[in-house]
Structure 1
Amino acid sequence: MLHRPRAGGLQESPTGRGGELAALVARAASAHAGHAHAVLLSGPSGIGKTRLLRAFLDDQAARGTRTLYAACGREPAAHRAPTAYDGLPDGMPEIPEGAATAPYGAVRALFGPLGLTGAGPSHLLRGGAHHALPALTPRATTAPPAHQVLHGLYRLAGNLMTDRPLTLVLDDAHHADEHSLRWLDFLLRRAEHRLPLLVVLAHRPEAEPLAGDALAAVGAPHRATVLPLGPLTEAESAELARRILGTPVGPAFAGHLAAASGGNPRTLTHALRTLRAEGIAPDEHGTRRAAELCAAMTATTTHRRLGHQPGWVRDVATALAVLGEDEPQRVAALAGVTTALVEDALTALRRAGLVAPGHAGLVDAATRAAVLAPLADPELTALRTRAVLLLSDAGRPAEEIAEHVLRLPGPVPPWMASALRDAAARAAARGGHKTAARYLHAVLRAEPDDLSARTELARALAEINPEEALPLLEEALALPTDPRTKAAVAAQYGLTCVALRRFTDAVRVLDEALAAFAAGTGPRTGPADRELAALLESVLLLAGIVRRETIGAVRARAAHMTLPHGDTPAQRQKAAMMSILTALDGRSAERTVVQARRALRSPGVEPGGWAAFAAAFPLALADEVDDALTALDQVLTQGQEYGEARVYTLALTARSLVLHGIGAIPDALADARTAMGLTAEDAQCAELTLPHIVLATALVDHAEPRRAEETLARIEPRDLDGHVLEQPAYLMARARARRGLGDREGAVALLFSCGDALAATGVANAVFHPWWVHAVRQLSALGRTGEARELAERWTGPARSWGTPRALGLAAHALALTTPGPEGVVLHTEAVEWLAGSPARAEHARAEYYLGRALLAAGDQPAAREHLRTAVGLARQCGALALAEAARGGLVTAGGRMRKATGSRTDLLTRTERKVAALARAGASNREIAEALFVTVRTVEMHLTGVYRKLGVGDRAALASALPPDGPPEPPAGMPMVAYGRPARAAR
């Protein structure tokens, strides 16, 4: 596509070459200001050098620059559209291949359109420029000295630059003759500091130049800029497709297109124009057709280039196509040549554009396929088998060998199946479950009756596609096997059912497996059997604890279980699940902590992270927040390292809950928003509802009840019926959102529904979804004091049984709300004292608020102001904006003064975070910020992380738009500025 000149300014660039075009234009502007320069435009065949040059020359012509162009070593292209370049009225001149090596052949093509034959006078030949005529007229009868011709050409170029700058462009310069390149070097050396000249040479770096030394001299680093052209990206391929097809294309189509073409614009353009001519849309069929077209074009180019090579070079190319980039010794062994010949072959293949400069493998998958296409199936199979043997003998990594094994047709021999198993185990250990499944599918094809291969494949699939894993496990369970094997399969079946939310099926199969295992192994079992039994029990508890219809049975089973020591992964998982049941029972925080800490005895986290993840929940309920957050951080790290999206999302959600519970609401919001984003991006997380519930819970405290309701509206309530953990959480979040919107009656109804759901599952923990505290507040506000009092008294016992400062503080707070007069003030004071010693900072702020109100009602305004001011500060520090504003209103009523919060997220920043954010917004580096604030760079990084989380941004670029123009404002008066962290637990 040619870009016509416009009235000035940068012309439209070929797709994906905007940056390169801008660089050329900038280099031209500098050169034309009197700093003569050269540019070497570098890239393989078809990469778009000529199209870029056309756009550049259009731009230069539009700016009034004199431009001369020639292409070396090509046959004239009659179909090429004419352009408006200065001196090129009939198109862009080319040097026929036969004339490429003639002395001054490139010079004649450049200056030929000027018509300088010496037959008549010309102002361009003044001042000695006529000495250039022998170079411009190949049939000259005399041969003047070379220096005289060089000076004549130099004078001619100078005459061309008397009225405007000059740009000389030589395309395919690797075909240019030595005389022409020597003159360009001569010209640049003399024009460097005083003439408005730019020389642009386009060449293929892999091609052997006709005059290598002369080309290197023109492109000497001190006077030349190298501008490489790389393959088009997926986004650029999509844009090219849109331009040619006239319609936007999806990312999947663009990705396949870029891969099939290797990002080569010429190949892409050919494929897209063919699709357009055939009327094929960019859909699945279009993707297949485009891949065929790209492969065919790549094959044609590859075969043409290889056809000129000797047989041993083609053999090396074939070996490279089979092995990939590899050691020369193995390539030589597979090709049947010497190592020295491999090096020579690589040089030849680089010149042919089949091997990239600096590499030892073919340029892309399409080229590899084209090289192998002529081989018959038996010949290719024999080569691939030899390659596997060579790699195995060399001790290469199992996964590298496995990739070659997968390319073999038909079932593989047993020793290769063993290599595939080894590779699958290594892939699974690093979280590559999809890769492991590919290997194990091949194993199962080779050994269809192998039960272990079936279960290993199911285990890998359970992480990426549990629907596909379940039938494999059901088939395995139906086979007549020994109790131990059946128990192991049942455990995997149970875990897979949990991922698919088929909890009842899991409990049924696990119950049967446990009974069969106990009967089959007898009372005297070894360590392996005890570990397998612990695994079965832990998975049974994991599956049964989720639903109302199964929790009773697993609770009865757990009552007879022995707490394991936590020395093995299965024991730790069992201890974690037992701690959850104990926590839900609500009778002993101490016992719960003991059980949960057994689950964390290992310093690391087992794959899947279930033990650490499960233990964090009861630890947080028991006010052991540091341990809970540490466990979740470990799970998050593992989930990120191994790409376990579901585990990572659930751990983020759990951490958001814990952070919300300690009053770090901005941090809780940040985690919940990230988890919500993952549910939309990853198919493994799409069905998760807890992130929505947790985000809504935090939004209510952040004074956004309307957004909380909108978030909860995405959940179908019937999907949560009978869910032990999620249904009460959903009902309570809805109740709090209703209260935030002023609907107290609706809130009370939902809170009692939450209580009913918990009672139906036997959950009696006073601080697990403490709906009763919220209900007491709303009932008291509605004047239903009797109901409120009865509810507070009923839950005081369970709260005292749990016995944590948070539980005792909430119980005192609920009783205080229903107790008027001085006795109520005493109870409010007790609630403040308990909650001040707990990690529940938002609840502490709320207790201070209610104590202030009680003191104000009793007529003690000074004391009321003290507690209300504390409530405002704590609430703002926590990010509980709704509570902060209510407390501020109470403070004003009590005769105090305090500025109203802006409602901006910047209110949530600590004073130090504000300083760091302001400096970062101004462009200071982390080190400069550290020096300005007299802290370490690590401290700056920590504060920036906090800023990003609280403002909901991801990096410095987004920080500028999240802050006011003059940086974050100072906090409102009375707001204590302390950094968020994990509060140290106060003594009870």
Structure 2
Amino acid sequence: MANAKNLLERTPQIEVLTTHVKRLTTGAGAALAVEGMPGIGKSRLLSEASSIARAMGIQVLSARGTELEREFAYGLVRQLFETHLVSATPEQHDKFLSGPAAQARELFPLGTQWNSSHLDPGSPSPSNGAEVRGDFPLLNGLFWLLVNVCQDSPVLLVADDLHWADEPSLRFFLYLLPRLADIPVSIIFSLRPEGEKAAAAKLLTLLSSDSACHVMRLLPLGVESTRQLIHEFLGVEPDDSFAEACHKATGGNPLWIRELSDAFATEKVSPTIGNLSKVESIGPQAVRKRVKLRLAQLEPASAALAQAAAVLGDGAELNKAAALAGLAAAEGSAAASDLTRTSMVSIDVAGSEHSPRVRFVHPLVRSAIEEALESTDRLAMHERAAILLDEAGAEPERVAAHLLKIPPATINTAHITLRTAAEFAMSRGSPEATRTYLLRCLEEPLSRTDRIDVLTLLGAASHLLELSDAAGYLRKAVDLSEHEEERHHLAAMLAVSLHLQGESEEALRIISDAISDLDSPTSELSLELESFAAMSRITSGNPGDIAECVSRLQDLPETDSRSGKMIDCAIAFGQFYMSDPEAVPHAMRCLSEDVLLSEPAVAHLAAAAWHVLVAADHPQAPAMLDAAVGKAHRFGSITTLAPAYCFRGLSLLWRGFPQEAERDMREAARADELSAHSLGRAATGAYLAEALIEQGNFREAEKVLEWAIPNGTGIRGMEILVSAGRARLLRESGSYGEALTQSLTVGASADAQCCRNPALLPWRSDTALCLHALSRAGEAIEYATEEVELARVWGAPRALGRALRVMGVVSPRSQRLHFLEEAVAILRESSAQLELAKALLDQGSILRSEGYRKDARNSLQDACTLFERCGVSFWGDRANTELVAAGARRRRIAMKGLESLTPSERRVAEFAAKGYSNREIAQRIFVTPKTVEVHLSNAYRKLGVASRRDLPEELR
């Protein structure tokens, strides 16, 4: 264990670290952020945590973010695992990267020299305008790699200087956070305060603000600790005033105190009151001054090696640093030995098969050495480093890191290396690094064709980062293009980006211009543009005549090509808005063969079709959405995973399982947080809020609705769903007047958007319930009647049953039971269990009020059973209150039998019955083994069986 006694004023922090590490022995992990200014002792505490963990038999995987490597896709994650994998036997290597972990194998090739085979052969090239490959397969693969590694013993991930980490690695940590409670893995990472964070501030903030992450902020040392450190370094007790002056000069920063003390020792300054003036002159730049002084005292070869290693970055291979410094191998080894005596670097022989690595004692030391170089010398060294690494067969990203440091047109082949690095980053799902390399590539001399290719890929990468940037790059590409077909393809990409950022009118103008330029109105490209135009009109909030739009699309020739499926999707969504049930077959056709889901650029169209099928209560929708989530994990990006989770959650919600729906919606929300698209965020937020309202969690629902459209009214396009959610929340909270105003605003917007389908926006029934609560019965009946008529046209049982239930609540006394009986009859034949329970609750309440207490008890007991099955105690309490009022005892239900299983429990049980292990099931449904264990335990209890051997019989 590290010498903790020298960690002054850090006893409480060490206790926190110890508790954090000990938690791993219970099988559950967590995250801890150690935040503080440079030199405050973050690295020292992380080292202490590593020692504590190793003493407990816990595996430690460590990494450190560096300035030079922040553009390397998954660079920090690779550091975490590489040493472990390099030291593994081939059998262990295969074991760790087995199952879904194989998706991460490309990050850890067995050979160490890069070659083009490391690129995914299926990855798109810049010239075809394809979108950056999704990163979720790698995230899922890395997660299972970690699960495989922790089978031997718990794992502590230690990541120092996370503020310099690459963004894909940060996304992996974000992916990991909600899963830590279920696996024996904990994270400890260090970062600087908000003002010191790098460009990835959004991701770092999401990490440190996550509920699974505890933040420990390090404060400067006090005067007494400053005195103790000076005494320890100098061997002399300092005067009080001298110690106070040192504390003021260093701000209580341990690194500054150490460097200041070292300067005193070198210059033979005694810590007395007579030397106070020297404290101020030495103090503020102690580290940089000391580094320059040490360099000046070194032999020329040693100084050159230090500078070369600083340019190459922390952890540079010694042989490459020596070559960059112009030293032979023997000279390099001698210089390395000399350097270690300065306490600036250490030579690490572990973790490399070819050469020891040069490690700096602190990032500030490395940066100070590099800054000590004259600017012309520094540029020349980065140029030589790029050439040296390229000739040595280094990964293109390592070469590109140095190209980013030198002026354009310095190396003739720089644009080729930068393009290759961008493709490499793309193959690893890193749009951030792709964008960085391509922006630099644009500064090189390029042909018109190359410039168009680079701008096109820049647009594709920015599509996942910042849509306004994507549109800007694509505009430039369109302006440069001289070929009609290429220009129209680029226009289509530009229109999609504009549409997704809410600029539907401009998107429509661009598409219309492109269509009018095309010679053939029935070509693939023309049909695709027509579908984009239609979807933009429908979802823009100002669609015009949807019936005319749909009719125009129906006149186009039918094809089984991608364009045909896109046309089918636009028809389906238009008919969905108009409450036309013919939307369903069109939605099924457009989703056939997964053509749309296979291409991220049109994945939002698949989401529209899912919306149609879920709203239609289509029996195949749950299985299709299960498959979509799986495919998004294996091949997709944020743009495919977020809607897949959102609409699978919606399917669960409308079938009556809000708790399970919430889990999916939160996964969608995490993906939406990282997305540049606003459309998905609105739908996710609206439906997540609905799931929370069903569980009676009104306060959290309010937060989610604010997240969905911060500081916005939410009355255009899909944002109207958020406004409808706010109306419902107000009504459920008892604010009927405000809810009525909000609901009528939603209705006016829905009418303007030609949206008449109550399965999408049941604003009429919401309005009717508000009016009923405000004793405005006549108006309530009008709105409820209109919704019933529209729901009968659409024909989906859930929407019609809900409309009839509301009609029963607001109708005159003589008609209430008639409508409620019809609602119950329709919903009993549907999958909408929660809506059926509500209809039974309303039926029982009215039967009780009419004096039919026995019949009331029957309905209310059924309602209680269903509410229990759906897991909504909020509604179950209401039903029990009515049941007691009807003369029965409060119902306590222990759910039993096959029908009592939730969808997730049944799915897990079915896999277990087929002989799959918990681990195999978890890999198939993208959850943790612990989650499978919980579902299986619940299934055993509800089915009354002791083991999986009994499941096949019970599941028949």
Equivalent position of 1:770 in the other structure? 762
- Identify the match of residue 725 of structure 2 among 723, 733, 736: 733
Equivalent position of 2:502 in the other structure? 501
Equivalent position of 2:157 in the other structure? none
1:620-641 Cα shifts (integer Å, max 9, x gaps): 11224414642663587479x8
- Matched to 2:716, the amino acid is H
Say if 2:596 and 2:603, in contact at 8 Å, map to a contact too: no
- Matched to 2:653, the amino acid is H
1:472-502 Cα shifts (integer Å, max 9, x gaps): 4444444563322322332332233234322
- Matched to 2:484, the amino acid is P
Q: 1:719 to 1:435 in 2, by over 3 A?
A: same
**Structure-2 separation of matches of 1:618 and 1:273:** 71
Say if 2:522 and 2:557, in contact at 8 Å, map to a contact too: no
**Structure-2 separation of matches of 1:395 and 1:561:** 53
**Structure-2 separation of matches of 1:372 and 1:737:** 58
Are 2:455 and 1:454 equivalent residues in the alignment? Answer: yes
Q: 1:619 to 1:842 in 2, by over 3 A?
A: same
Q: 1:445 to 1:542 in 2, by over 3 A?
A: farther
**Structure-2 separation of matches of 1:703 and 1:543:** 36
Equivalent position of 2:949 in the other structure? none
In structure 2, list runs of 5 or more residues that go unmatched. 19-38, 46-187, 194-214, 226-249, 264-280, 350-355, 906-911, 946-956
Say if 2:588 and 2:609, in contact at 8 Å, map to a contact too: no
- Matched to 1:565, the amino acid is D
Equivalent position of 2:536 in the other structure? 543
**Structure-1 separation of matches of 2:435 and 2:550:** 36
SS at match of 1:361: strand
1:558-601 Cα shifts (integer Å, max 9, x gaps): 4445555355xx77666544433332232125324323423734
**Structure-2 separation of matches of 1:232 and 1:301:** 29
Task: Kindly state the Cα deviation for residue 845 of structure 1 after the two structures are TM-superposed.
Answer: 0.8
**Structure-2 separation of matches of 1:292 and 1:543:** 59
**Structure-1 separation of matches of 2:711 and 2:753:** 17
- Identify the match of residue 218 of structure 2 among 239, 259, 264: 239
Equivalent position of 1:667 in the other structure? 660
Matching of residues 12-411 of structure 1 within 5 Å: 13-14=7-8, 234=192, 239-241=218-220, 265-267=254-256, 293=285, 296-297=288-289, 299-300=291-292, 302-304=294-296, 307-309=297-299, 311=301, 313-324=302-313, 325=315, 330=320, 333-339=323-329, 341-353=331-343, 354-358=345-349, 359-363=356-360, 366-372=364-370, 380-411=378-409
SS at match of 1:661: helix
**Structure-2 separation of matches of 1:374 and 1:789:** 81
Are 2:573 and 1:580 equivalent residues in the alignment? Answer: yes
SS at match of 2:400: helix
1:132-178 Cα shifts (integer Å, max 9, x gaps): xxxxxxxxxxxxxxxxxxxxxxxxxxxxxxxxxxxxxxxxxxxxxxx
- Matched to 2:592, the amino acid is R
Are 2:611 and 1:614 equivalent residues in the alignment? Answer: no
- Matched to 1:841, the amino acid is Q
Say if 2:808 and 2:819, in contact at 8 Å, map to a contact too: yes
SS at match of 1:419: helix
Say if 1:613 and 1:631, in contact at 8 Å, map to a contact too: no
Equivalent position of 1:487 in the other structure? 488
Task: Kindly state the Cα deviation for residue 843 of structure 1 after the two structures are TM-superposed.
Answer: 0.6
1:882-915 Cα shifts (integer Å, max 9, x gaps): 53233223222322211599xxxx9xxx9999xx
- Identify the match of residue 826 of structure 2 among 824, 831, 834: 834
Say if 2:305 and 2:321, in contact at 8 Å, map to a contact too: yes
TM-score, normalised to structure 2's length?
0.59
Equivalent position of 1:759 in the other structure? 751
Q: Which has the higher contact order (CA 8 A, sep 6+)?
A: 2
Equivalent position of 2:432 in the other structure? 434
- Matched to 1:615, the amino acid is A
Are 2:503 and 1:511 equivalent residues in the alignment? Answer: no
SS at match of 1:870: helix
- Matched to 2:437, the amino acid is Y
Say if 2:622 and 2:651, in contact at 8 Å, map to a contact too: no
- Identify the match of residue 879 of structure 2 among 880, 884, 887: 887
Matching of residues 914-929 of structure 1 within 5 Å: none
**Paired residue total:** 677
- Matched to 1:457, the amino acid is L
Task: Kindly state the Cα deviation for residue 868 of structure 1 after the two structures are TM-superposed.
Answer: 0.7
SS at match of 2:573: helix
- Matched to 2:792, the amino acid is R
**Structure-2 separation of matches of 1:797 and 1:481:** 54
Equivalent position of 1:703 in the other structure? 696
Say if 1:437 and 1:460, in contact at 8 Å, map to a contact too: yes
SS at match of 1:767: coil
**Structure-1 separation of matches of 2:8 and 2:401:** 38
**Structure-2 separation of matches of 1:385 and 1:671:** 49
Q: 1:481 to 1:239 in 2, by over 3 A?
A: same
Task: Kindly state the Cα deviation for residue 735 of structure 1 after the two structures are TM-superposed.
Answer: 3.3
Q: 1:466 to 1:789 in 2, by over 3 A?
A: closer
**Structure-2 separation of matches of 1:702 and 1:22:** 35
Q: 1:398 to 1:579 in 2, by over 3 A?
A: farther
SS at match of 1:896: coil
**Structure-1 separation of matches of 2:623 and 2:544:** 26
Equivalent position of 1:924 in the other structure? none
Equivalent position of 1:161 in the other structure? none
Task: Kindly state the Cα deviation for residue 401 of structure 1 after the two structures are TM-superposed.
Answer: 2.2
**Structure-1 separation of matches of 2:755 and 2:854:** 43
Task: Kindly state the Cα deviation for residue 426 of structure 1 after the two structures are TM-superposed.
Answer: 2.8
Comparing 591-600 with 627-636, greater Cα deviation is found at 627-636
Q: 1:361 to 1:878 in 2, by over 3 A?
A: same
Equivalent position of 1:724 in the other structure? 717
In structure 1, list runs of 5 or more residues that go unmatched. 1-9, 25-45, 53-229, 247-260, 275-288, 917-929, 950-967, 978-988
Task: Kindly state the Cα deviation for residue 503 of structure 1 after the two structures are TM-superposed.
Answer: 2.0
Question: Greater CA radius of gyration, 1 or 2?
Answer: 1
1:72-111 Cα shifts (integer Å, max 9, x gaps): xxxxxxxxxxxxxxxxxxxxxxxxxxxxxxxxxxxxxxxx
Are 2:420 and 1:425 equivalent residues in the alignment? Answer: no
**Structure-1 separation of matches of 2:687 and 2:454:** 40
Say if 1:776 and 1:788, in contact at 8 Å, map to a contact too: yes
TM-score, normalised to structure 1's length?
0.57
Task: Kindly state the Cα deviation for residue 376 of structure 1 after the two structures are TM-superposed.
Answer: 5.6
Task: Kindly state the Cα deviation for residue 872 of structure 1 after the two structures are TM-superposed.
Answer: 1.9
Q: 1:19 to 1:881 in 2, by over 3 A?
A: closer
**Structure-2 separation of matches of 1:268 and 1:541:** 67
SS at match of 1:355: strand
SS at match of 2:878: helix
1:854-885 Cα shifts (integer Å, max 9, x gaps): 54466543332122112123224434445323
Task: Kindly state the Cα deviation for residue 749 of structure 1 after the two structures are TM-superposed.
Answer: 5.1
**Structure-1 separation of matches of 2:437 and 2:583:** 47
Are 2:797 and 1:805 equivalent residues in the alignment? Answer: yes
**Structure-2 separation of matches of 1:633 and 1:769:** 25
1:398-429 Cα shifts (integer Å, max 9, x gaps): 22222222222233545220221122133234
1:612-659 Cα shifts (integer Å, max 9, x gaps): 4333322211224414642663587479x86x4x87666665555444
Say if 2:422 and 2:435, in contact at 8 Å, map to a contact too: yes
**Structure-2 separation of matches of 1:869 and 1:609:** 44
Q: 1:371 to 1:515 in 2, by over 3 A?
A: same
Task: Kindly state the Cα deviation for residue 610 of structure 1 after the two structures are TM-superposed.
Answer: 2.7
1:288-346 Cα shifts (integer Å, max 9, x gaps): x9999476246326515xx44463x5554454344455666655654545445545544
Q: 1:603 to 1:557 in 2, by over 3 A?
A: closer
